[in-house]
């Protein structure tokens, strides 16, 4: 299989190192314009509708004032590949975000999908890389042996490691995305969810620069929320 690893004794391993990927699948077309027009409905202030200047002015104003429900009129859907079950377990805690996740009951690892695990830098730096992949490979061998012996995949999966990848599609409105980025891109968040969410934020800053304007990504891929605007 493509990407199989070999250790120093040239033993072929099933396990391979995961590479994370964040793909924007769908987004509300002209999302910021939709938000402006929804917001203007509250005040029937369409006489002031003059995009793009009026869009920025109004959206920034409602964000400052905490009138965040209008941000719920636009949403985005992301496909996230090559990230671990450790990450997805954290991500699915966001109750206002809708997830659809690969099922370990139905997917046969090493057959329908390559057996991949995420490699944390600290494990490599600590000198545990070889053993980490060795043990992950052993887990796979027992998984496969059990499946071959008739154990259902839903039970054989108990031996699979937390570092195994799990594909997930998530949909959230812009208000919820702002909340997720505020807590998951922060320095205190775990590095993997921070990395994935920072990538999502990069995409969102490009797609909806007004809504995500004050979320700045620093050199360490952490987010600083800069509220430099005047209060009103
Ligand atoms: C650094 C960090 C460490 C963490 N450590 C742990 C841990 O050790 N153990 C653990 O179990 N979890 C942990 N979590 C997860 C955390 O407790 C939350 O479950 C997760 O971040 C989802 O956040 P949320 O509830 O604010 O957001 P969402 O579920 O995305 O909801 C968004 C917002 O909607 C509102 N909302 C949603 N549901 C309700 C509700 N039922 N009632 C009232 N308001 C609601 C709230 O304002 C909420 O902030 C950690 C999170 C972070 C960022």
Residue-wise pLDDT tens digits, 160-173: 999 999 999 999 99
The Cα–Cα gap between 82 and 154 comes to 21
Percent of the chain whose predicted confidence (pLDDT) is above 70:
93
Residue to mutate, 66, 90, 95, ligand 1, most ligand atoms under 8 Å from C-beta: 95
The protein residue whose alpha carbon is closest to atom 45 in ligand 1 is: 95
pLDDT range class, residue 228, cuts 50, 70, 90: low
- Model pLDDT, residue 103: 94
Q: Is residue 20 within 8 Å of residue 81, measured between CB atoms?
A: yes
> Model-level pTM?
0.92
State the distance from the centre of ligand 1 to the C-alpha of 199, rounded, in angstroms.
21
- Model pLDDT, residue 5: 53
The Cα–Cα gap between 116 and 218 comes to 30
The protein residue whose alpha carbon is closest to atom 28 in ligand 1 is: 94
The Cα–Cα gap between 194 and 190 comes to 6
Q: Is the pLDDT of residue 23 over 50?
A: yes
Single out the residue of 160, 165, 208, 15 nearest to residue 79, CA to CA: 165
Question: Which residues are marked as active site?
Answer: 184
- In CATH terms, 23-75+171-220 corresponds, of 1.20.1250, 3.40.50, 3.30.70, 3.40.449, to 3.30.70
pLDDT in tens, 46-100: 999 999 999 999 999 999 999 999 999 999 999 999 999 999 999 999 999 999 9
Q: Ligand 1: which residues within 6 Å by Cβ? A: 93-96, 176, 179, 183-184, 188-189
User: Where are the chain's structural domains?
Assistant: 23-75+171-220
Q: Residue 128 has which token pair?
A: 């545990």
The Cα–Cα gap between 153 and 148 comes to 10
The protein residue whose alpha carbon is closest to atom 41 in ligand 1 is: 95
Q: What's the chain's average pLDDT?
A: 92
Q: At what angle do helices 31-43 and 53-65 cross, to 10 degrees?
A: 70
The Cα–Cα gap between 143 and 153 comes to 8
State the distance from the centre of ligand 1 to the C-alpha of 90, rounded, in angstroms.
10
């Amino acid at each position: 299989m493509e990407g199989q690893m070999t250790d120093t004794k040239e033993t072929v391993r099933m396990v391979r190192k995961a590479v994370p990927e964040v793909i924007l699948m769908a987004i509300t077309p002209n999302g910021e314009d939709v938000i402006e027009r929804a917001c203007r409905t509250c005040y029937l202030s369409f006489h002031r509708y003059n995009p793009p200047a009026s869009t920025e002015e109004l959206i920034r104003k409602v964000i400052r004032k905490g009138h965040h429900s209008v941000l719920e009129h636009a949403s985005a859907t992301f496909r996230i590949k090559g990230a671990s079950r450790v990450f997805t377990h954290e991500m699915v805690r966001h109750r206002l975000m809708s997830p659809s996740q690969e099922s370990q009951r139905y997917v046969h690892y090493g057959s329908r999908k390559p057996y991949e695990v995420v490699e944390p830098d600290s494990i490599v730096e600590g000198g545990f890389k070889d053993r980490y992949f060795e043990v992950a490979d052993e887990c796979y061998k027992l998984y496969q042996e059990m499946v071959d012996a008739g154990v259902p995949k839903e039970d054989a999966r108990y031996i699979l490691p937390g570092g195994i990848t799990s594909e997930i599609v998530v949909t959230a409105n812009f208000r919820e995305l702002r909340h997720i980025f505020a807590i998951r891109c922060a320095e205190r968040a775990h590095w993997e969810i921070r990395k994935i969410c920072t990538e999502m934020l990069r995409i969102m800053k490009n797609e909806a620069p007004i809504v995500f304007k004050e979320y700045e990504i620093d050199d360490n891929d952490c987010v600083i929320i800069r509220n430099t605007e005047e209060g009103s």
